[in-house]
Structures are given as structure tokens and as C-alpha cells.
């Protein structure tokens, strides 16, 4: 008579091993708990980084505080005035010291007025402010905006705000002087390559630009 198979832990050990035969099932419980904690911390760290990357842009109020601290409205107004002055200087330079006729002066005055009105319209603070707020929101974080505002409210920051227009003006003047020194060389380079292009066109039987057939 066949005897029934023995039941108990030994009888089910083979099937249990097959059903639960995964790498983690053979690890001690403390190791499994430690691995779970590490995975959880890694997930939390990733979520923290993602949260900072997807953080909300700085508030309009904080950006307006920064613009006030940097006196941006006054800087925009000064920029418009500088552009108008540069435009008038360019007109005078184009005359090369020659006194314009009465009719020419009327045309110059009209052109200057219309150009100045257009500049003031475009560089008006009510027009520039929303644009600057949008640019700051897409460029800086809230922390960066707050940090800049705090800096520009310090004595050193206030000094930077006060002196930066002079720095920009001096930089522009130096750049213009450098370009004036380079202009003869730039003109020589342009003349040289134009001559080469005309020579190449003549060799290929192509008339120079502007030449009549």
C-alpha cells in the first residue's frame, strides 16, 4: 500500500522556492528594507530637483521691486534721450561742417522731431515695463530676483545703479573710437574684396554689378 507523501514545510519547500525565487527574496530583511529606503530617498531627491526646475516664475510684485531698486524707469528715459542726441549728432556729422540751407534745416528739424517722437513712444515706460517683467520672469528664478533686489538695496548696490550709466556711456564712447580707428582698414578690406569679385566676374564673362549691358 502506497504511503501518502509527507506534508509539512519540507513538502512545500520546492514549490515555495520556485514561486518566490526572485533575487530580492533571498536577501536578508534588513538589506531589503535598506534598499527600499535608498530607492525612496533617490525618488524624493529627483522629485525635489524636478520641483525646483518646474517652480513657478517670480511674481510680478517682486520683479517690480527689482526694477524700482535698479531705477530702470529712469534708465530707460535716459536711453531714449541719448538716442535722440546721437541721432542729432549723426545728422550734424553728415553735413561735414557745412551750414545747411534754410530748406535743408527745415527738413532736418522735421525729421528730428518725428524720429524723437517715435523713440519716445517705443521707449515709454508704460510700454517697456510689461516687456521687462515678462523677460525677467522667463529668465530669473524667484530666489535670483529676491537676491538681486537685496543687493541693489545695499550701499554697494546703490553705487552700482548710480554709476552704471556712466560706465555704459564711457564704454560706448570707447567703442565708437575703436570703430573710427578701424574704419579705414575695414574700408580697405571691402575695397579689396570688391575688386577681387569684379576681377573674377570679368574672367568668367560676367559684367560687374551695376554695369550696363
Q: Which three cell numbers stand for residue 72?
A: 530702470
Q: Compare 99 and 5 and report the one with higher pLDDT.
A: 99
Cell matching residue 44: 524624493
Q: What SS3 class is residue 73?
A: helix
On the question of pLDDT at 149 being above 50, the answer is yes
Q: Residue range 114-143: average pLDDT?
A: 92
pLDDT reading at 40 higher than 80: no
| Residue 213 · residue 207 · CB < 8 Å | yes
Contacts of 153 (CB under 8 A, 6+ apart): 69
Answer whether 152's CB lies under 8 Å from 161's CB. Answer: yes
pLDDT reading at 164 higher than 70: yes
Residue whose C-alpha cell is 534588513: 30
| DSSP labels, 100-112 | PPHHHHHHHHHHH
In the chain, what percentage of residues exceed pLDDT 70? 70
Of the candidates 112, 126, 30, the one whose C-alpha atom is nearest the C-alpha of residue 77 is 126
Please report the pLDDT score of residue 211 as a whole number.
Answer: 56
E-strand stretches of the chain: none
Give the tens place of pLDDT for each residue, 43-87: 444 444 444 445 689 999 999 999 999 999 998 888 888 888 888
Query: What is the per-residue pLDDT for 6?
Result: 47
pTM of the model: 0.57
Amino acid at each position: 500500500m502506497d504511503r501518502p507523501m509527507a506534508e509539512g514545510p519540507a513538502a512545500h519547500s520546492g514549490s515555495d522556492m520556485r514561486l518566490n525565487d526572485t533575487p530580492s527574496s533571498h536577501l536578508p530583511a534588513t538589506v531589503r528594507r535598506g534598499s527600499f529606503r535608498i530607492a525612496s530617498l533617490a525618488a524624493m531627491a529627483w522629485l525635489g530637483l524636478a520641483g525646483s526646475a518646474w517652480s513657478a516664475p517670480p511674481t510680478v510684485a517682486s520683479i517690480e521691486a527689482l526694477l524700482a531698486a535698479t531705477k530702470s524707469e529712469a534708465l530707460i528715459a535716459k536711453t531714449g534721450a541719448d538716442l535722440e542726441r546721437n541721432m542729432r549728432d549723426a545728422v550734424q556729422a553728415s553735413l561735414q561742417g557745412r551750414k545747411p540751407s534754410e530748406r535743408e534745416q527745415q527738413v532736418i528739424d522735421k525729421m528730428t522731431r518725428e524720429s524723437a517722437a517715435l523713440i519716445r513712444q517705443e521707449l515709454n515706460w508704460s510700454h517697456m515695463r510689461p516687456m521687462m517683467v515678462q523677460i525677467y520672469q522667463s529668465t530669473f528664478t524667484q530666489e535670483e530676483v529676491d537676491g538681486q533686489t537685496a543687493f541693489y538695496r545695499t550701499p554697494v548696490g546703490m553705487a552700482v545703479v548710480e554709476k552704471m550709466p556712466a560706465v555704459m556711456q564711457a564704454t560706448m564712447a570707447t567703442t565708437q573710437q575703436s570703430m573710427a580707428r578701424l574704419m579705414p582698414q575695414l574700408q580697405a578690406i571691402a575695397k579689396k574684396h570688391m575688386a577681387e569679385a569684379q576681377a573674377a566676374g570679368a574672367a568668367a564673362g560676367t559684367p560687374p554689378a551695376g554695369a550696363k549691358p
